[in-house]
Amino acid sequence: MNTLFERIQQHALTAPDAIALSSEQQKLSYQSLVDAVYKRVEQLNQQPQRIFLLQNPDSIAWVIEDLALMLANKVCIPVPPFFSQQQQSYLQKKVSDNKPLPSGTSKVTFTSGSTGEPKGVCLSVENQLNTVAALAERVAEVSVNRHMVIMPLSILLENIAGVYLALWLGAEVLLFKGETLGLKGSSSIHANTFFSALSHYQPDSLILTPALLNALVEGAKRGTIDAKQFKLLAVGGARLSATLERQALTLGLPVVQGYGLSEFSSVVALNAPAAVVPGTVGHPLNHAVVTIRDGGVVVRGNTMLGYWDNPDSWFPSEINTGDLGQFDEDGRLIILGRRKHIIVNAYGRNIDPEWLEAELCSQQAIHQAAVFGDEEIPLTALVVLTSPSTAEQVSSVIYQVNQQLPDYARIQRYVVLKEPFTVSNGLLTGTGRLRRLAIKDAYRVAIDPTTYSSANEVYDDVL
């Protein structure tokens, strides 16, 4: 039973002319969406092919194909638009090899991960719709009318918590091109175009990365956008700084921080919109059981079917996420960072670089930051500036950030980079996460305090 499509059909019965999907050129009602999906299902049922790569540009056609493949019991493999030609060839080869999948696989979501080699997470229909139903319960007090797609549809978070949830709730899904929204890839935004699109199309729901939330905060400060326009701003994909979260909430932006992973069909925990506790990702959703084991976050209840082409991983009872965490006194989850990323300094103190990076990127002068260090290398920040910021401004900004940090976690050196971290140069994943190993390798000379890279400007003693 496909409860999502049953909900869509019910919306079509009660309000057949209500708009389900919108793009620059087209509007599709709920009834028209039902008709289009059924038509495509009939076509799919005539094809012996079992596995389909979903490579349409982000569009209404993408959503129709995705829903139809699910309803026709086919296997859908969304291809991220940011994948390199090599990564796309890798997917093509895996499909052509026709290797076995875990029984019940409906979708294989490939993530670029931290190393660049795609890893296929196999999910069932039940996996995906359990998450949608749990999210709907958590945001039940919010009446969402119009959700705007910001992330690529191939990103599971946008696919499930964005499109599926909006259709479950009977809302309208806005599907516009990146040029319309002022967005390019995962790391570039034309703020004025973005603000104009938000004002013109009036979405009340968005899924944002911290970088995009930072842009909204700046827009709200300048009065370019009205915070009252929004009902739900879910933030995920990377660490959200406490400073940025406080600024957003003070401005009236309805920010709810969440936590999830593809291996659990996206969202695990989410703050309730009416009871946000800053610094936490809220209580686990009702389909998730979360425990802390040796300081690490372990989840069960809606685990993936397994990784494609790795039978040893099939049908796990639980997922050790690799994230460090704890619960507050009321049972809300707090994420403390990735275990493998933790820096141990010369005094034996454990430092999460994502914490420092999030605080740095909450400052208007800094577009991107990557922090490295160890027992011999002092905490060093590689920073990409926002135009027209200067190195002199950054020195002052880092000094201010350091005053909010404990002495052992203060940035001691920073390097101003001439080029940003991007998907195309291999230093950023499609969801905006840093590829730490690639960055460390690319800037190993600048990170090492005993050498100097003439390609960048290095500054010391900014405590």
Q: How far apart are CA 162 and CA 151, in angstroms?
A: 9
Span 391-409, average pLDDT:
88
Query: Hey, what amino acid is at 194?
Result: F
User: Is the CB of residue 237 less than 8 Å from the CB of residue 209?
Assistant: yes
- The phi and psi torsions of 51 (rounded to 5 degrees) equal -110, 130
How many other CB atoms sit within 10 Å of the CB of residue 113? Answer: 14
* Interval 139-147 mean pLDDT: 96
Predicted confidence (pLDDT) at residue 375 exceeds the cutoff of 90: no
**Beta pairing class for 205-208 and 232-235:** parallel
- pLDDT band (50, 70, 90) for residue 9: very high
Phi and psi for 213 in degrees, rounded to 5? -65, -40
Q: How many residues comprise the chain?
A: 463
39-49, pLDDT tens digit by residue?
999 999 999 99
Look at residues 330, 271, 320, 313 and name the one whose alpha carbon lies nearest to residue 291.
320
Q: Residue 286 — φ and ψ, nearest 5°?
A: -70, -10
400's CB contacts (< 8 A; 6+ apart) are 363
Q: For 222-290, what is the HEC assignment? A: HCCCCHHHCCEEEECCCCCCHHHHHHHHHCCCCEEEEEEEHHHCEEEEECCCCCCCCCCCCCECCCCEE
Task: Select the more confidently predicted residue: 386 or 283.
Answer: 283
Percentages helix, strand, coil for the chain, rounded to the nearest 5? 35, 25, 40
Res 156 pLDDT > 60: yes
Which of the residue ranges 220-229, 267-276, 279-288, 359-368 would you say has the lowest mean pLDDT? 359-368
340/324 Cα distance (integer angstroms)? 10
Phi, psi of 194 (to 5 degrees): -60, -45
Please report, as a single letter, which amino acid is at residue 456: N
